[in-house]
Amino acid sequence: MKRILTIITAVGLLSSLSAQNPADYVNPFIGSDNYGTTNPGAIVPRGMISAVPFNVSGQPNKHEKDSNWWSTPYSNVNETFTGFSHVNLSGVGCPDLGTIILMPTTGELRTSPGEYATAYTDEEAEPGYYSNKLTRYDIKTEVTASVRSAINRYTFPAGQANILLNLGLGLTNEQDGYLRITSSNEVEGFRTVGSFCYNSPDEIYPVYFVIKLDKKADTYGTWKKPPHYNGVEGNWMGYNGKTRLMEEYTKPLVGDSIGAYFTYQFDKETEIEVQIGVSYVSIDNARENLQKEIAGKHFDEIRTQAYNKWNETLSHIKVKGGTEDQKTIFYTALYHTHIHPNTLNDVNGEFPTVGSGKTGRTDGTRYTVFSLWDTYRNMHQLMSLVYPEEQLGMVRSMIDMYKENGWLPKWELNSTETFTMVGDPAAVVIADTYMRGLRDFDTELAMEAMLKSATQTEKNPLRPELSEYLKHKYIPVQEEFDGSVSTTLEYGAADFAIAQMAKEMGRTTTYKTFMERAGYYKNMYDKGEGVMRPRMSDGSWFAPFSPMDGANFKPVTGFIEGTSWHYSFMVPYDAKGLIKLNGGSKKFVNKLQSVFDNGLYEPDNEPDMGYAFLFNYIKGEEWRTQKEVRKIIDHDYSNTPAGIPGNDDTGTMSAWLAFAMMGIYPDAPAVPQYTICSPYFDEISIQLNSDFYSGKNFTIETVKATNEATTIDKMELNGKPLNSYFISHDDIVKGGKLKIWMK
């Protein structure tokens, strides 16, 4: 019954009847099942903090954090609640953070999650707000947030009430923490986190917090559970392996299974508001974040502010027409693209720098959580078009990271570099941003950083296979599961991007060099098999080989998270060359169509996510793009918790959906254009930022012959016939109208 209530309450009566605001259409539960790894927790756009229901600890749960690979604090199909975590990740594939957990209970004080866990019902969520009812305790919980602070509101029944801070629980592999109770209604401390994707295990770091309760507790204290000692000394320890409760303990407490409690005796139903501020710099900064963002304000005020901030953000794109479900999945997708990258700096501008652990300072926003192997393909292009001020801030953050540790980011998390995935994606993002006309950053330093990662052959953490790539003009197989084909193609995409920016900057020699390198992908193409194939250093093809090897994300030689079919058309920057390589237009179309017809396309996989748009490069075959894109959307996206086809990858799948539903898609990174498919709405209005673009709005209007019309008949751009299925970025940001007739 809980899941049914979830879906109904998330959309709400306003959405189903007469919703006017974009924020009313958001269903935060979309993606919280089917390994989407999103969550319905309370967060504001680009927020550092999020208050997320933690339900992946203990049984009965389908997805449990320790017994299987689970990278999010929440699963919609789980039934056991153990609190709200306050530093979290959304749409990622590896576990980390998911800690600083607050839990309300009633009755006898219990400190073990296995003892105090409870079922829950009556889930509700909207942008910036989440609520449920804890059935075991008859407690209503509600959470909301600002950028760096959050408020938990608990409505307790009469009797004993407890509020627990459990620092031992979390998704991170790290467990150490520190806390100190400073008064009967305040506790401060930190929790260590780190080891994302089990890379760089030495790169652990603290997240600091200050927690304030709006009522002084009747009793309070701490707990600590020491390990069990088997030696002689264990005979003298009455607390050996047992939890030690320490009432009114105000000294510093350090350990890996520690917590604090605040207990009340209520003679009637009572609300308590718990405020929490966090920082990645210091306890003092966490306190300042809390004081400047939410001190003196109550829950409902912060909730309203969070909703208004979301509505303002989402209103940059307004749609008319379409069904209620279509509006919901569209605006929820746009919502998901504004969770990461998120804010790292405190209100005073301070943040931890990359590599050194020193404290830096910014006058703007220091962004973090750059899952660039995913987001370089579409998410940053969406930001450049609709939120250019945010995109420039992200690029500046990446360049600042280069200043701090000598390298651009690859998969950066809270100023730690995880080096997850392959390729050199930051170069693509920077060049793409530059090519779309956003150039208010240190372009010379950016080019220096890009060229360093593209030319330094020794001790290069971004391109560790660069020397082999330059020597052979492809990356040969060096060991099992080395991803040689995938990495070659990713290097080529980055080289192409560098070439485009270099040409625009007048660096002709650099342009020619990197355009030549961008063609190395052809050396991975086996004409006999008709697909990309791993190759040995002597030029021979790797064997045994099947284009289906690596299906279902099984590790395989040559490819990262995919098969040869998922990579064989992943050259969007040279579609014409790819078509020629595959024997010309007819053979190319037939082979590409077979990918869809034979179930070889993976909608949850980044390398092939642009495949459906490649038909637009063949005159007369553009209808296939319209057909296949609609099939993907209608089959794999929905207004349900399972409504994202697998991991959202910090908004990448959601960005794909938002673009595709608008009828435009940035098919080739570092090429300032969009290819066209059939929109889902009668009208889409993109509000352009006048600080960056000359146009005020760009509108996409559809005229349908029938309600079922999905195929494009003809198009006009600003009243003139548009005979191409491509439109430039410049044409859009000048403002105007793209009118599409559908039959």
What digits encode the pLDDT tens for the residues 27-38? 999 999 999 999
d(CA 163, CA 485): 53
Structure tokens at 591: 């082979």
Which residues are bridge partners to 266 per DSSP? 159
Kindly state the DSSP code that residue 637 receives in the 8-state scheme. -
Residues 569-579: tens digit of each pLDDT:
999 999 999 99
Cβ pair 642, 33 in contact under 8 A: yes
Q: What is the mean pLDDT of residues 629-654?
A: 98
- Is residue 179 a contact partner of residue 189, using CB atoms and an 8 Å limit? yes
Residues sharing a CB contact under 8 Å with residue 582, sequence separation 6 or more, in sequence order: 530, 588, 591
What is the pLDDT at residue 19? 56
Pairing of strands 270-279, 359-361: unpaired
Residue 330, pLDDT score: 98
Q: In 607-707, which ranges are E strands?
A: 664-665, 673-676, 683-687, 697-704
Closest to 12 (Cα-Cα) out of 347, 357, 307: 307
Give residue 14's pLDDT band: very low, low, confident or very high (50, 70, 90): very low
User: What tokens appear for 400 in the block?
Assistant: 């600042």
Nearest CA among 620, 631, 634, 630 for reference residue 725: 620
The mean pLDDT value of the chain amounts to 95
Report residue 258's pLDDT band, with 50, 70 and 90 as the boundaries.
very high
Q: Which residues contact 480 (CB under 8 A, 6 or more apart)?
A: 557
622-636 vs 585-597: helix axis angle to the nearest 10?
Answer: 10
Place of tokens 């396309």: 601
> Distance between CA 681 and CA 702 in Å, rounded?
7
Q: What per-residue string of b and e applies to 152-190 under the rule 16 or more CB within 10 Å gives b?
A: bbbbbeeebbbbbbbbbbbbbebbbbbbbbbeebbbbbb
287 burial via Cβ count (<10 Å: 0-12, 13-18, 19+): buried
Specify the pairing of strand 697-704 against strand 736-742: parallel
- What percent of the chain shows pLDDT beyond 90? 89
Confidence of residue 493 (pLDDT cuts 50, 70, 90): very high
Q: Which helix (H) or strand (E) holds 233?
A: none
Determine which helix (DSSP H) or strand (DSSP E) holds 163, and give its type and residue range.
Answer: strand 159-166
Q: What is the largest CA-CA distance in the chain?
A: 89
Q: What single letter denotes the amino acid at residue 725?
A: Y
* pLDDT at site 5: 41
Q: CA nearest 607: which of 374, 337, 429, 371?
A: 374
Q: Which has the closest alpha carbon to 547: 490, 604, 508, 595?
A: 595
The residue length of the chain stands at 743
How confident is the model over 125-176, as pLDDT tens digits? 999 999 999 999 999 999 999 999 999 999 999 999 999 999 999 999 888 9
* Residue 606 near residue 423, CB atoms below 8 Å: no
What are the residue ranges of helices labelled H in 598-686? 622-636, 652-662
Gyration radius of the chain over CA positions: 26
DSSP 110-155: --SHHHH-B-EEEEEEETTEEEEEETTTTEEEEEEE-SSEEEEEEE
User: In the predicted model, what is the mean pLDDT of residues 196-214?
Assistant: 89
pTM across the whole model: 0.96
